[in-house]
Amino acid sequence: MLIFIGLGLYDEQDISVKGLDAVRGADLVYAEFYTSRLMGATFETLEAFYGRKIHPLSRQQVEVDPSWMEDALDKDVAFLVGGDAMVSTTHLDLRLRAAQMGIKTRVIHSSSIVTAVSGLCGLQNYRFGRSTTIPFPYISRGKRIIPQTPYQVLTENLDRNLHTMLFLDIQSDCTERYMTVNEGAALLLEMEQVAGGHLLDGSLGIGIARAGSDDATVKADLLSRLQSYDFGGPLHILIVPAKLHFMEAQALAVLADAPEDAVKCAD
């Protein structure tokens, strides 16, 4: 059996009791940490707390050549991921591959940033549209390229009066690099400039850092101002809300220190 186990938001203690029992009872334990990270725990801390040897997997081993899954044909194999176990389409793909191989699967859920943002900043969870990721710019043929997909998704959501959750890129090739809210806000505004739009002029943004930790930071302000706010260490996430319900506006003022001039309430 292949058991997908979500580890939660921040550190080794965020795993559920059910998940911890499954890790300790598995024959083999694998993990991937390129789609998300537990910033409050090291790899060694996880192994010590779970009491198990963990075999880390690369993107190649998860998405291209997951030959390790064959172990689950006759063993109980735990597959650990940050956040919830099935938020990433990468993990759904693995579950479908397992089904094709005749491997039984089980999912043990945990807390996820997808649901945590509502509790942290006060936006109503049913008002979120499609989420997207802001990638780091890259160089192609000597030209700096900024993918426009995040801006397109944001535009579609705002047209439907829906909030947008923008995941921020993680790079882990040679050295780990985590995009900040500041960089994400700046890139969004740059995308709009490239597109020739004015949708984000005076637009509100919400930055969240280290969700699940004791020192989580939640700040709402104009996107242009968020570029200079100090959110501290990773992981960060950016939200651009649609028109606010009056309770959302009140919550942002109380929970995210939103200045009055940045909050626009619904009629």
pLDDT of res. 267: 43
Task: Name the DSSP class of 163.
Answer: B
Q: Which of 134, 87, 85, 156 is nearest to 239 (CA)?
A: 134
**Overall average pLDDT of the 149-178 stretch:** 91
Give the pLDDT confidence of 97-125 residue by residue, as tens digits: 999 999 999 999 999 999 999 999 999 99
Three-state secondary-structure class, residue 80: strand
Contacts of residues 174-177 at CB distance under 8 Å and 24 or more positions apart, as own/partner, are 177/136
Interatomic CA distance for residues 84 and 107, integer angstroms = 9
CATH fold of the domain at 114-262:
3.30.950
**pLDDT exceeds cutoff 80 at 158:** yes
Interatomic CA distance for residues 3 and 15, integer angstroms = 14
Three-state secondary-structure class, residue 211: coil
Q: Which of 175, 183, 158 is nearest to 238 (CA)?
A: 183
Give the pLDDT band of residue 176 (cuts 50, 70, 90).
confident
For residue 21 the two structure tokens come to 């029992």
Q: Look up the pTM and report it.
A: 0.90
Domain ranges in the chain are 2-111, 114-262
Q: What angle do CA 186, 9, 98 make, to 5 degrees?
A: 105
How far apart are the two ends of the chain, measured CA to CA in Å? 53
Name the amino acid, one letter, at 170: I
Interatomic CA distance for residues 105 and 165, integer angstroms = 29
Interatomic CA distance for residues 164 and 73, integer angstroms = 40
CA dihedral 213, 206, 168, 183 (to 10 degrees): -110
pLDDT of res. 265: 57
Give the pLDDT band of residue 131 (cuts 50, 70, 90).
very high
Q: Which CATH number fits domain 2-111: 3.30.360.10, 3.40.1010.10, 3.30.70.3270, 3.40.50.2020?
A: 3.40.1010.10
**pLDDT exceeds cutoff 70 at 174:** no
pLDDT of res. 141: 85
Q: In whole angstroms, what separates CA 39 from the centre of its chain?
A: 12
Please name the residues in contact with 46: beta carbons below 8 A apart, sequence gap of 6 or more: 7, 12, 31, 38, 54, 80
Share of the chain above pLDDT 90, in %: 82
Contact status, residue 205 vs residue 238, Cβ threshold 8 Å: yes
Q: Quick check: bond before 96 cis, omega within 30?
A: no
